[in-house]
Amino acid sequence: MTYAMIGTWRMAYEGLSKAMTTLEAGGKSTDAIEIAIKEVEDYPFFKSVGYGGLPNAQGLVEMDAAFMDGNTFAIGAVAGISDVKNPISVARQLSNDHFNSFLVGAGASQYAMFNGFEARNMLTERAHKLWAKRVQEINEKNLSPYDGHDTVGMVSLDQDAGMAAGTSTSGLFMKKPGRTGDSALSGSGFYVDSDIGGATATGLGEDLMKGCLSYEIVRLMGSGLSPQAACDQAVYPFVEKLKKRYGKVGEFSLIALNNQGEWGVATNVEFTFAAGNDEQTPQIYMANPGPDQTTIIEPISEAWLIAYEKRIKAPID
Amino acid sequence: MTYAMIGTWRMAYEGLSKAMTTLEAGGKSTDAIEIAIKEVEDYPFFKSVGYGGLPNAQGLVEMDAAFMDGNTFAIGAVAGISDVKNPISVARQLSNDHFNSFLVGAGASQYAMFNGFEARNMLTERAHKLWAKRVQEINEKNLSPYDGHDTVGMVSLDQDAGMAAGTSTSGLFMKKPGRTGDSALSGSGFYVDSDIGGATATGLGEDLMKGCLSYEIVRLMGSGLSPQAACDQAVYPFVEKLKKRYGKVGEFSLIALNNQGEWGVATNVEFTFAAGNDEQTPQIYMANPGPDQTTIIEPISEAWLIAYEKRIKAPID
């Protein structure tokens, strides 16, 4: 039977590859999503998710995460959670509850501690330095403080045709305390229905929630479109609509996977992602907006990967 | 030119009536939404919104609210905000920002204070008594603690064809600290596009966010359906799907208004709402699920209104 997985950004690759071995062995999509996203949360050099994530304006790391089971529509989510090693695991556990399954702020952090999740100061020395440097730049050059909002989002299909989706992010760098984006919001940050497929989003959450694009992509796939056609048709017209009606539009990128293991991507900015299935080992790809509301997708180059590795580990001066 | 407004529950009536005079005088939908919802938030005997709203398990009032401008798609939202007199006004002000427009928990409350919004202890003596009584009942009779989750939601159309939507709630009675529902979530709790129409939801937020029903209703109206047909087609099949896939479904009710001033409603439980337009003064209606995925709507009876008035002001023993 088919199994497959897709995840946002280069950072998804190692976690996705690890989770694919679970899917290959007959494991469930729900487990695969948690395994994969935990891996991303735990890696200190990814600066927009989990440990090592960039902090808010006060210098504190506040995180958002969500988990959705495509068989049952069960959703668990947290927004503005802090001092917890794996927000995705908290979100997954919350998805087991019919009530109180979306917790925010101090209530979310308290729930995690009360339920035995591992506490961790999520601010690395590196992230703290980046924050301090940014504060100085903003003060000196009067820059807009907001930058960087790369959510890891994953969609998985297992051999029993079960699907799941998850997201995790430390959100917008230098955000105001308590700010949340789309990542924990059903329909905007993620959506999955095992009878159809799933989608997740990354980018400026404030704009993504204006369009409910993850829901719309799944709906379009349900109407018979391929994941790629669904992504193109949901994303590019909405980008144009938002430019016209709101006057501007942030960066965003969406990924989709259907219940046949086929995937698609649409983006208004250079965007990397990872994907694999039973016929193809996980690979990293690069997507860019193409002509006439299409998406150009190509394998990532070795040079790009080397430059990326160098960039995320470069010393902070 | 046409103007119109619809709001969830009997409690919407006075605020909606007040806001309709603004619309009649040529005022904007955005103003009408804030005027109407503030009125509901301020009335102490509505126990699920604003002042007098029922508290969480710890006895504290935590509130959710959202505001959306259908002309621009601008959204402002707060979740788990406390000690603020009018959450809808905070949400509206946040909708002016391109970044940080959705704030949760302590960050949301701090934003409100920093920006000069009026502080208020939202816990009335009556709500405190109801909470204490409920705690005792739960302990003595081992009851499920969760009960009551009536969000006020409104959609407005002004004479310039501008539309807006808003929601406000104190959420699920006896909720865990930090719990939020659908009310602040775009697509689930609310959605509005002035070119089409708008919708808002009330009911069990944990289930509403599984369906993104407000977005779906607006989308269906955009495909040419009347508000009533859009509500019926979005809500009832999803109720069946959720029963089948999740095994159960909470209570929920949705309202919709299109850009012609026509409205519709769908619900899986007895549900009251208020609506009016340039041709008809605001009225309160009663909706119930009908046969074959339809909705039965009738004017509210005098007897129901008298019983309601008595119930919300009955002494707490």
Tell which of A96, A149, A180, A208 to mutate to test the B interface (max B CBs under 10 Å). A180
Q: Closest chain B residue to A186 measured between Cα atoms? A: B209
In the predicted structure, residue A148 carries a pLDDT above the cut 70: no
CA dist B190 and B88 (Å) reads 13
pLDDT single digits (tens) A118-139:
999 999 999 999 999 999 998 8
Q: Closest chain A residue to B103 measured between Cα atoms? A: A179
CA B277 to chain CA centroid, Å, is 19
pLDDT of the residue at A142 = 81
CB nearest B215 (choices: A75, A187, A246): A187
CA dist A57 and A49 (Å) reads 16
CB contact under 8 A, A73 and B215: no
**CA dist B17 → A205, B26, B43 (Å):** 35, 15, 15
Which residue range(s) make up the domain with A26? 4-313
CB contact under 8 A, A209 and B102: yes
Angular region, B161: left φ>0, alpha ψ -120 to 50, beta rest: left
Question: A169 — contact with chain B (CB < 8 Å)?
Answer: no
CA dist A288 and A265 (Å) reads 9
CB contact under 8 A, A99 and B181: no
CA dist B218 and B226 (Å) reads 10
In the predicted structure, residue A40 carries a pLDDT above the cut 90: yes
Out of B22, B30, B124, B151, pick the active-site residue.
B151
CB contact under 8 A, B72 and A191: no
- Is residue A151 annotated as part of the catalytic site, yes or no? yes
Taking the CA of residue B310 and the nearest CA in chain A, the distance in Å comes to: 30
CA dist A138 and B70 (Å) reads 33
pLDDT of the residue at A143 = 79
The strand pair at B263-267 and B252-258 is best described as antiparallel
Residue B30: CB partners within 8 Å, gap ≥ 6? B67, B69, B92, B162, B164
CB nearest A103 (choices: B178, B207, B211): B178
The strand pair at A280-289 and A295-299 is best described as antiparallel
Residue A134: CB partners within 8 Å, gap ≥ 6? A145, A147, A173, A174
Q: Quick check: B32 and B149 in contact, CB under 8 A?
A: no
- φ/ψ of A237, rounded to 5, equals -60, -35
**CA dist B73 → A179, A201, A237, B190 (Å):** 18, 18, 14, 11
Helix A213-222 vs helix B213-222: angle between axes, to the nearest 10 degrees? 60
Q: In A, which residues are within 8 Å of B102 by CB distance? A: 179-181, 205-206, 209
* CATH number of the domain to which B227 belongs: 3.60.20.30
For residue B13, the tally of other CB atoms under 10 A from its CB is: 23
CA-CA-CA-CA torsion for A94, A96, A102, A106, nearest 10 degrees?
-30
pLDDT of the residue at A120 = 97
DSSP A236: H
**CA dist A139 → A44, A132, A177 (Å):** 27, 11, 19
CA dist A64 and A205 (Å) reads 11
Q: At B156, which helix (H) or strand (E)?
A: strand B152-157
Q: Do the interacting molecules here have an ipTM over 0.90? A: yes
Q: Which residue has the higher pLDDT, A137 or A164?
A: A164
User: What SS3 state is found at A171?
Assistant: coil
**CA dist B136 → B53, B58, B130, B132, B141 (Å):** 19, 13, 10, 6, 8
CA dist B86 and A50 (Å) reads 34
In the predicted structure, residue A1 carries a pLDDT above the cut 80: no
Residues 74-93 of B with CB under 8 A from A: 74-75, 79-80
Angular region, B275: left φ>0, alpha ψ -120 to 50, beta rest: beta
Q: Please list the ranges in chain B whose pLDDT falls under 70.
A: 1, 148-149
Q: In B, which residues are within 8 Å of A205 by CB distance? A: 102
Question: A114 — contact with chain B (CB < 8 Å)?
Answer: no
Nearest of B167, B194, B146 to residue B29 by alpha carbon:
B194
Domain count within chain B: 1
CA dist B41 and B39 (Å) reads 5
Q: In B, which residues are within 8 Å of A244 by CB distance? A: none
In the predicted structure, residue A149 carries a pLDDT above the cut 80: no
Q: In B, which residues are within 8 Å of A181 by CB distance? A: 102
- φ/ψ of B229, rounded to 5, equals -65, -40
pLDDT of the residue at A248 = 96
Q: In A, which residues are within 8 Å of B58 by CB distance? A: none
Question: B178 — contact with chain A (CB < 8 Å)?
Answer: yes
User: Could you tell me what percent of chain A has a pLDDT over 90?
Assistant: 95
CB contact under 8 A, A175 and B212: no
pLDDT of the residue at B121 = 97
Q: Quick check: B67 and B77 in contact, CB under 8 A?
A: yes
Mean predicted lDDT score pLDDT of chain A: 96
